[in-house]
Amino acid sequence: MDLFFWEIARASGLAAYAALCISVLSGIAPRTQALSFLASNRAVRALHDWSPWIVIPAALVHIVALLLDATARIGILDVFVPFLTSYGQLAIGLGTISLDLLVVVLVTTWLRRRFSNNAWQWWHRVSYLGFGTMFLHSMLSGTDLTSPVIAALSWAAGIGIAYYALERLGKALNPARIRA
Amino acid sequence: MKANSPILPPHPERTGPARPTKRSGPVPAWGLKLGGFLTTFGIFVGSFGYATTHLYATNAPLQPATVASVATTAATGTATATARPSTATTTTTTLTSAVQTTPRPAVTVTKKS
């Protein structure tokens, strides 16, 4: 049974990574036109608003499977507090941090009306950090990333999002260029 | 001009550079959502299949302690067997009192029938 949970944990980890890529990319896309070849900004925005429905289940399955896998030796505390595991402290701890940041982003989004728009935007920018830590977590601990094909796809997704994130940052820092 | 006049005033001419028209793709929001779900689910199913067929990744970055100890034991055993096969055989063989040793030299050539 341990092996079944181990397989589920590996598969759901990659699925969570893909779901988070979709979520982050659809969040950046309306300003960068990254997905304009595919759909209108309104449709991309709708995808971004809906994306927690794929991110949360994938992340939950990943965590629950690791909790049930006795070999992985991940405890409840390890899920929320980083760097407590008996092995792979950095690799697993980065995953814990990314989960904590994901929770922060989701909760602040659901409480968006209670924040000013500026404050909410700053909270939402935490998702870039969350994606970065999840990327490092997957690279440092991903068993399936030993496969060249899976590693290439994961790197391509990460580099693509980093490119559009930098483009988005450039436009945010230089708004006069957009108006010109 | 009267407020209820049927003739509307002409639109004022726009000045300045014309706004470039950007064509966006035709996929509706539900199509993107469906695509997102199918991508995630497809990756889950595909990865599960891959994990099933590649259960033990010896070069995986994380090796929990139990797996590591088993791997170390297996690796040590293999190395011993490769380096000193005759010694390994000698240590595992136990002679009972019913088995008599012989002073004859060991048979090194076996004739085939």
* Interchain pair B44, A11: CB under 8 A: yes
In a domain, A179, yes or no: no
Q: CA-to-CA distance for B34 and B28, rounded, in angstroms?
A: 10
Q: In which band, very low, low, confident or very high, does the pLDDT at B79 lie, cut at 50, 70 and 90?
A: very low
* Interchain pair B32, A47: CB under 8 A: yes
A20 touches chain B (CB under 8 A): no
* Eight-state DSSP code of residue A71: T
User: Which of A60, A143, A146 to mutate to test binding with chain B, by most B CBs within 10 Å of its CB?
Assistant: A143
- Residue B19 pLDDT: 60
pLDDT at B77 over 60: no
In a domain, A147, yes or no: yes
Indicate the range of A55-59, A65-69, A174-178 predicted with least confidence.
Answer: A174-178
In a domain, A177, yes or no: no
Q: CA-to-CA distance for A139 and B47, rounded, in angstroms?
A: 16
In a domain, A136, yes or no: yes
Q: In which band, very low, low, confident or very high, does the pLDDT at B112 lie, cut at 50, 70 and 90?
A: low
In a domain, A175, yes or no: no
**Domain membership of residue A116 as a residue range:** 2-170
Q: CA-to-CA distance for A59 and A38, rounded, in angstroms?
A: 27
* Interchain pair B25, A38: CB under 8 A: yes
pLDDT at B11 over 80: no
The pTM of this model reads 0.76
Q: CA-to-CA distance for A3 and A1, rounded, in angstroms?
A: 5
In a domain, A30, yes or no: yes
Q: Do the beta carbons of residue A160 and residue A57 sit within 8 Å?
A: no
For A38, counting Cβ atoms within 10 Å of its Cβ (0-12 exposed, 13-18 middle, 19+ buried), the class is middle
ipTM rounded to 2 decimals:
0.92
In a domain, A178, yes or no: no
Quick one: which of A101, A73, A77, A69 has its CA closest to A87?
Answer: A73
With a CB cutoff of 8 Å and minimum separation 6, the contacts of B65 are A73, A86, A87
In a domain, A107, yes or no: yes
Residue keyed to tokens 């010694």: B87
- Residue B113 pLDDT: 60
Q: Do the beta carbons of residue A34 and residue A25 sit within 8 Å?
A: yes
- Mind spelling out the 3-state secondary structure of A117-177? HHHHHHHHCHHHHHHHHHHHHHHHHCCHHHCHHHHHHHHHHHHHHHHHHHHHHHHHHCHHH
Domain count for chain A, please give it. Answer: 1
